Structure 1
Amino acid sequence: MKGIVFDMDNTLLRSSIDFGAMKRDIYAFLCHHRILPQGLSMDNHTTSTIIAEAMNTGLLSEDLRHAMWDTAKEHEMRGMMGADLEAGARELVRQLHGQLILAIVTNNALEAAMAALKENKIADYFDLIIGREAMGLLKPEPDGYLEVLKHFPHTSPKEWLSVGDAWVDGKASESAGIPFIAYCGDIARMNSMGVFPFAEIQHLPDVIGYLQSRTTK
């Protein structure tokens, strides 16, 4: 094993970002500016897939694109203020630091991510932190994970594991060829979206056992 990629919200940090409100606000903004049609089923979309739909139209001007991202960033900054770590997160990354390459891939703006990670004093444990600015397309697309692999060209996807709580994390990770561990995830939802985790855990320190088992194979 060479490295591990973590999702951030509700994986390392107990986020209070209202993702439902973010999705609704961005969709309303895009409808108002006639980028997307009314009536899309929100049940079948995340914020990132709504944004991907908008990007695919070719109708987003530079100003509208910035305004859309500003809407997302406002939700992120508000939701990350005072965010606590998930149980066992600090101990896990402290234990792994220096032994494996540690990376984060988050759909959040890098500024919001760094503010929360620094507030919780774990930013320095990570070798690479990828925010949405470094991705062409957000999770569930694999761009962020491929960016990690590009930063460490001496490694192969199978020498990594990733950990995340949502189907978009698993989809992006698996599409990049990196085995995925679901942390407190909705496995039925993941399976319905074509995501089949390598393992399921309820406690972050349980990652250690899977790292050891893959190292010995």
Structure 2
Amino acid sequence: MAFTIKGIVFDMDNTLLHSSIDFGAMKRDIYAFLCDHRILPQGLSMNTHTTSTIIAEAMNTGLLSEELCHAMWDIAKEHEMRGMIGADLEADARELVQRLHGQLILAIVTNNALEAAMAALKENRIAHYFDLIIGREAMGLLKPAPDGYLEVLKRFPQTSPKEWLSVGDAWVDGKASESAGIPFIAYRGDIAKMNSMGVFPFAEIQHIQDVIGYLQPRTAK
């Protein structure tokens, strides 16, 4: 059976936009906050955790009050807003979304706050090319959980997962996408890191416009 691609889900940071968000500092600040409030223990490995997995650990404890939860997200949002100031598009990203607009369903799934994402996308004048932009407020759990991608599929019930492609630079993008059944293309990703986290992209690209080559009908395995 051959599938014709009907939509693409893009990650945002370092896929469409080259932001300067200091994800390492964000992770450390949130972890320190959670340790200070005795939500998480000291000594978690920062090498294997991302900000989103640390937050998931905190959520799973059942110890986060609503007030502490808001304060935690405020730390993330502060880093995001600061890092999005002056964020430039990745090379050829505008040309790609202009070309695909109206031909395919275009969506973004980002762990960022929607406000920070929209500010950067509007500043770069590409927000209007997308049919759906999912920020963390629309997810139960952040990537690497599949919630954001499942929300995309829910919004477009006339499509199946195999009629989509997902493009992102990080293992969390691949894990979330693959868990939702959407084939994942790694854009300038660390493939060894992805593989070590159980993510096996069906394609790797170095230039964002190379995704065009994967939009033709393909045979299901």
Percent identical among aligned pairs is 90
Give the one of 104, 120, 124 matched to 1:120. Answer: 124
Q: Provide the C-alpha distance between the structure 1 equivalents of 2:218 and 2:13, rounded to a whole number of angstroms.
A: 26
- Is 1:193 the counterpart of 2:197? The answer is yes
Deviation beyond 3 Å, 4+ runs, structure 1 = none
Gaps of 5+ in 2: none
What corresponds to 2:115 in structure 1? 111
Note the aligned Cα RMSD (angstroms). Answer: 1.1
Q: Note if 1:63 corresponds to 2:32.
A: no
Instruction: State yes or no: 1:43 paired with 2:47.
Output: yes
Q: Secondary structure at the match of 1:43?
A: coil
Q: Which of 32, 46, 57 in structure 2 is aligned with 1:28?
A: 32
Runs of 5+ in structure 1 lacking a partner? none
Instruction: Answer 1 or 2: higher relative contact order, Cα 8 Å, separation at least 6.
Output: 2
* CA shift digits 1:108-147 (9 cap, x unpaired): 0000000000000000000000000000000000000000
CA shift for structure 1 position 214: 3.3
Deviation at 1:213, TM superposition (A): 5.0
Equivalent residue in structure 1 for 2:22, among 18, 24, 43: 18
Alignment correspondent of 1:5: 9
Matches within 5 A, 1:175-214: 175-214=179-218
- Partner of 2:47, secondary structure, is helix
The size of the alignment, in residue pairs, is 216
Aligned positions of 1:146-185 closer than 5 A: 146-185=150-189
* Mapped partners of 1:27, 1:99: distance in 2: 42
Distance 1:158 1:213 in 2: 11
Matches within 5 A, 1:58-137: 58-137=62-141
Structure 1 residue 184: deviation in Å?
Answer: 0.2
**CA displacement, residues 171-212 of structure 1 (integer Å, 9 cap, x when unaligned):** 000000000000000000000000000100000000001112
CA distance in structure 1 between the partners assigned to 2:28 and 2:217 by the alignment? 42
Higher share of residues assigned helix: 1
